[in-house]
Amino acid sequence: MADAEPHTDERPLAGRVALVTGGSRGIGLAIARRLGKLGTRVAICGRRAEQLDKASKELDGEGIAALAIVADVTRAADVTFLVERVEAELGPLDILVNNAGMGIFGLFHERSETEWDTVLDTNLKSVFLVSRAAAPGMIKRRRGNIVNISSLAGKNAFPNGGLYCASKWGLMGLSNCMAEELRAHGIRVSVICPGSVATEFSTHSGRDLATLLQADDVAHSVAAILTEGPQSFISEISMRPVQKT
């Protein structure tokens, strides 16, 4: 476990421990990078060792020593191992960013039960499992931040988005209940709802990627939440690009 580091204006989160799920690429990697630059001791997890290794080396090249752990956050046993290892190697978990997510799109009546389970397990069940594992320690210490990355699809319906929207609408409900249950223990739960982000998550066929949100935009919102004064918390952020395409 690293020694405590004093807070500075440049590193306001110094000494805190953060876990970012789905942190090997895209939005998750951008969030891990931002948290590392703000001073946290950061851990990232994902299912693919090669992607985690690449991400870890990329962060290391920027002076951020990230703990990379292979874990499937839809499996309770993996989640228990994940949280225990983070706390054993980095210290008590202060910040959890539930970012892991995926999408399968198409007409709902043409989707399979397996596809339904895959989307709901990844986007919703994983948040329940990881937050459940992290919450007892945060409650005991009477501090902590949980940030759930949802989507504007958790507020708006669109054709071919049945499975994805169901998972994100569910995540909004879960996030709001978590916030009400945990605020009495000094724990702040926030949810971020981005629109389309220029990552490998979607092909964005025919769209100008420069007009979309960028992964760093979402990371900026996470930083804003985590650096909010202790007497309040930002419960929800909706993000849209300036230009509609």
Q: Which residues are catalytic?
A: 164
**Distance separating alpha carbons of residues 244 and 223, to the nearest angstrom:** 25
Nearest CA to 11 among 64, 47, 67?
A: 64
Location of structure tokens 């981005």: 194
3-state DSSP assignment of residue 40 = coil
CB 53 within 8 A of CB 76: no
Q: Starting at the earlier edge strand, list the strands of the sheet with 17-21.
A: 67-70, 41-46, 17-21, 95-98, 144-149, 187-194, 236-239
